[in-house]
Amino acid sequence: MSAGGLWRLPARALAEAVRSGRCTPLEAVSSGWEGPAAAWERDVHAVAHADPEARAAGAAAVAGHPEGRPLAGVPVVVKDNLCTLDLPTTCCSRLLAGYHAPYDATVVSRLRAAGAVVVAKSNMDEFAMGSSTERSCYGPTRNPWDLERVPGGSSGGSAAAVAYGLAPLALGSDTGGSVRQPAAFCGVLGLKPTYGRMSRYGLVAFASSLDQVGLFARHVGDLAVAYAALAGPDPRDATSRPGPAPDVGGWDAGVEGLAFGWPANLWREGVDAEVVEGLEEAAARLERAGARRVPLEMPSGEAALAAYYLVATAEASSNLARFDGVRYGARAGDGDVRALQARTRSEGFGEEVQRRILLGTYALSKGYYDEYYLTAQRARTRVRREHEAAFARCDFLLGPVAPTPPFRLGEKLEDPLAMYLSDLFTLGANLAGIPGLSVPVGTTRAGLPRAAQLLGPDDAEPVLLRAARAVEVGGERARLGRTHETEAAWPSKR
Amino acid sequence: MAIPPEEVRRVAALARLEIPEDRLGRLARELSAVLEYAAVLRRLDLAGCEPSAFAPGGAPPRADEPAGGLAREDALAMAPEAGEGFFLVPPFVEDLEP
């Protein structure tokens, strides 16, 4: 096998090539770095940290015994808020510049046990707070489909890296849509599992009751293999769901007999017409594959959005209190401890992180707690019930991921509320704790990725993967034609 | 509801953040805009909706039992300042006899 084409392979095929000895782990692991991807990285800037020696050491660890490892020699990009022993973990914040974690996150150690090699830490919005990957202390990531546009966020580096071919798999984190929305913007698959299915041990906490580690891939089968390798209980995460994770081995079993909810009231206004065309296309593919459409109404996401931004910022203000210039990270200023803490945090945190800490501190402060935080927690219960009511009538819901195709760099940077609104359709799943999957559905007339979101009840990952597969098969030509089958058909760089 | 700039200053002190005077006004407007949006929650019928701190319907957390932690030297390795097995901070108790 020519090492030159390895970077295009799905993770499963690459692992099989390594296991059967058709290529070495080092060739597989380096394939993205040595192919055309290397040139793309200069323009896209998906990577925050990488180290060729760590790559080589990872490949060497697999070389002795690749057999039986589902991800043998597969390069994986990991978001910079997941702890790794061999690469820095900075959450793309000045406050954590140069920080090396003293342990691997559980999902990272499970990746390594499965034979995968972490080849890069990806760029992200600082502490995962953002929807565009413009708020990284290392500068923005650009969308590989159009370099003037954002890749989405906050896991934009992971999504872009998978889209342009640095690796077939990536890890991100999804607190309000931070895996699904960048997946949609970059034309790849993005899965947010059921809350508690992926260990959060070693994920730098943003909002602990909402955070969930998620996966990016270009193929549904790759998502299934990665999910099977990583999901499941972890005694180190108190919120980990007990019992084995659902079996996703049947991801190619089809959707015959399944019913999908079609809450068309959600996109009657305020959603881009081409996004809606993508939804119609996804629904048509599901119906051709034997699924049944169930028209239903869902409450608009406005109350959920309000509840989300109060709960998420309140938890963030508490979680980020640990960055005080004492135990790790940067330290600024001298004088008394209080002044040192304030100077460290003010110089270390970026604008958006400070804004969210202030909002959360306000919502938790005396006199406002009942009005804001407690009300938001009650609204959260309502959001969960609304989803339960919908799932009594269907196996999964189909809807938009984001209200628009990828927007331009700088377009929403000056208006925090406008940026928050791009999470309108994704954050309900985090409040309810349910799984969600973003699946590509061709492109807009301007050549930008379109996507649909699939939402299911707790532990519905197997159903969501089957549905995504049905959408993927129907659209294989469109999707692969523009991205990964031939270099000539790649999105043009502007 | 509109937050006055001095309220932002008060909350910033609670959060251990130094906000320059010339940013207080703008931050007050931005936070007010989000809280005005959040007023939508007041119009919501929340009868019978108990507050949920974690994903409702999720499994209860596992028992919180003591287990091994980081070795002391690993915990101190990334500290801005450490010595003799401790994190070091500037003195914050005055006139303390050694």
pLDDT digit string (tens) for B27-48? 999 999 999 999 999 999 999 9
Chain A residues within an 8 Å CB radius of B70: 102-103
CB contact under 8 A, B46 and A375: yes
A300 versus A115: the higher-pLDDT residue is: A115
A47-69 average pLDDT score: 95
SS3 call for A405: coil
CB contact under 8 A, B49 and A385: yes
Q: Return the pLDDT at A484.
A: 43
Q: Return the pLDDT at A365.
A: 92
CA distance to A167, A310, A462, B47, per residue, from B42 (Å): 46, 13, 37, 12
Whole-angstrom distance, CA of residue B44 vs CA of residue A260: 27
Closest CA to B31 of B49, B45, B51, B17: B17
Cross-strand partners of A213: A173
Number of Cβ atoms within 10 Å of the Cβ of A319: 18
A201 versus A366: the higher-pLDDT residue is: A201
CA angle A488, A121, A6 (to 5 degrees): 35
Give the rounded percent of residues in chain B with a pLDDT score beyond 90: 67
Which residue is closest to A341 within chain B, CA to CA?
B16
- Reading phi first (left if > 0) and then psi (alpha if -120 to 50, else beta), residue A194 is in beta
Chain A residues within an 8 Å CB radius of B67: 235
Number of Cβ atoms within 10 Å of the Cβ of A284: 14
Whole-angstrom distance, CA of residue A31 vs CA of residue A488: 19
Whole-angstrom distance, CA of residue B66 vs CA of residue B76: 21
CATH code given to domain A3-296+397-489 = 3.90.1300.10
SS3 content of chain A, % helix, strand, coil (to 5): 45, 10, 45
Mean pLDDT of the residues in chain B: 88
A154 catalytic per annotation: yes
The pLDDT of residue A369 is above 50: yes
**Residue carrying the six token digits 């890069």:** A120
- ipTM comes to 0.93
CB contact under 8 A, A326 and B87: yes
The beta-strand segments (E) located in A320-418 are 396-399
Query: Best mutation site among B52, B74, B76, B94 for testing chain A: the one with the most A CBs within 10 Å?
Result: B52
Chain A residues within an 8 Å CB radius of B31: 355, 358-359, 362
The nearest CA of chain A is from the CA of B8 a distance in Å of 8
CB contact under 8 A, A345 and B77: no
CB contact under 8 A, A378 and B49: yes
The nearest CA of chain B is from the CA of A250 a distance in Å of 24
Using one digit for the tens of pLDDT, what is the confidence trace for B48-75? Answer: 999 988 776 666 778 888 888 899 999 9
The pLDDT of residue A487 is above 70: no
A292-295 and A259-262 strand pairing = parallel
The letter for the amino acid at B67 is A
Q: Return the pLDDT at A483.
A: 46
Selected catalytic residue, list A30, A132, A136, A154: A154
The nearest CA of chain B is from the CA of A101 a distance in Å of 8
Least confident of A326-335, A362-371, A374-383, A451-460: A326-335
Whole-angstrom distance, CA of residue A350 vs CA of residue B18: 12
Selected catalytic residue, list A122, A158, A178, A438: A178
Which residue is closest to A345 within chain B, CA to CA?
B17
Closest CA to A457 of A170, A261, A237: A261
pLDDT band at A34 (very low <50, low <70, confident <90, very high): confident
The nearest CA of chain B is from the CA of A256 a distance in Å of 29
Closest CA to A51 of A35, A29, A71, A69: A29
Q: Parse chain A into domains and list their residue ranges.
A: 3-296+397-489, 302-384
A178 catalytic per annotation: yes
- Which residues 25-44 on chain B approach chain A with CB closer than 8 angstroms? 27, 30-31, 33-35, 37-42, 44
Using one digit for the tens of pLDDT, what is the confidence trace for A431-455? Answer: 999 999 999 999 999 999 999 999 9
| DSSP per position, A67-135 | TT-TTTT-EEEEETTB--SSS---TT-GGGTT---SS--HHHHHHHHTT-EEEEEEP-SGGG--SSS--
Q: Return the pLDDT at A481.
A: 33
Which residue is closest to B94 within chain A, CA to CA?
A336
The nearest CA of chain A is from the CA of B3 a distance in Å of 10
Whole-angstrom distance, CA of residue A409 vs CA of residue A132: 8
| Tokens read off for A52 | 């060729």
CB contact under 8 A, A381 and B52: yes
SS3 call for A20: coil
The pLDDT of residue A173 is above 80: yes
Mean pLDDT of the residues in chain A: 93
pTM: 0.95
